[in-house]
Amino acid sequence: MKFTASLAVLSTAFVSAVLAQTGSFEDFSQCASYPTQMALSYFKLSPFPMCINKTYTLTATGYASEPIVNGATLAVTGRYLGRLVYTDKKTFEELLAPSGQSIPIPAGPVTLDLSLLLKPNRPPNVLFHFQFVATNGDGALLFCQAAGLSATNCP
């Protein structure tokens, strides 16, 4: 019985460790308290974990009920023990440039590759509660995703 229980605990720990390396949709939770203009079917962060002072990419796939227009932004916040300790905000024009995408993006199926620099003031190996809030150029909420994430110093 002890062996079976130990095996179950080890299996769960292994699966959790593998999932912790993906930074995929299952790791994030929807944080909007009202309807959004983009219903997400996939959301991924790479690399995972994020590297301090290096670029990371959020890939958001879903269905946009309205066109994504000029002025759309992504606001990133990080909290530690409930206190706001990290903020960043960029326009979609800036974020989409590395992937060759541009604004406007028509309503319908869409995949966004949003690339950001993780600021150097982010302490390593500390779990922050991050929120990624995308707002359309008309002020409507596109999506809000949240997760507990840590970052590391990468070579």
pLDDT by residue (tens digit) across 106-130? 999 999 999 999 999 888 999 999 9
pLDDT number for residue 28: 92
Q: What is the pTM (predicted TM-score) of this model?
A: 0.81
Segments forming the whole domain that contains residue 74: 23-152
What pLDDT score was predicted for residue 23?
A: 55
**Domain containing 99 — which CATH number?**
2.60.40.770
29 vs 27: which has the higher pLDDT: 29
Task: Read off the tokens for 35.
Answer: 């309807």
Lowest-confidence pick of 13-22, 67-76, 133-142: 13-22
Let me know if residue 124 belongs to a domain.
yes
- Res. 41: pLDDT tops 60: yes
How many distinct structural domains can be found in the chain? 1
* Domain contains 28: yes
| Inside any domain, residue 12 | no
138 is a domain residue: yes
Is residue 1 in a domain?
no
In a domain, 121, yes or no: yes
Q: What is the mean pLDDT of the chain?
A: 85
Q: What is the pLDDT of residue 108?
A: 98
Given pLDDT bands bounded at 50, 70 and 90, which one contains residue 16?
A: very low
Q: Where does the chain show beta strands of DSSP type E?
A: 29-30, 38-46, 50-51, 55-64, 73-80, 83-91, 108-117, 128-135, 141-149, 151-152
Residue 145 in this model has a pLDDT that exceeds 80: yes
Residue 16 lies in a domain: no
When pLDDT is averaged across residues 78-98 and rounded to a whole number, the result is: 94
Assign 96 a pLDDT band (cuts: 50, 70, 90): very high
Smallest CA-to-CA distance from 76 within 119, 138, 123, 36 is with 119
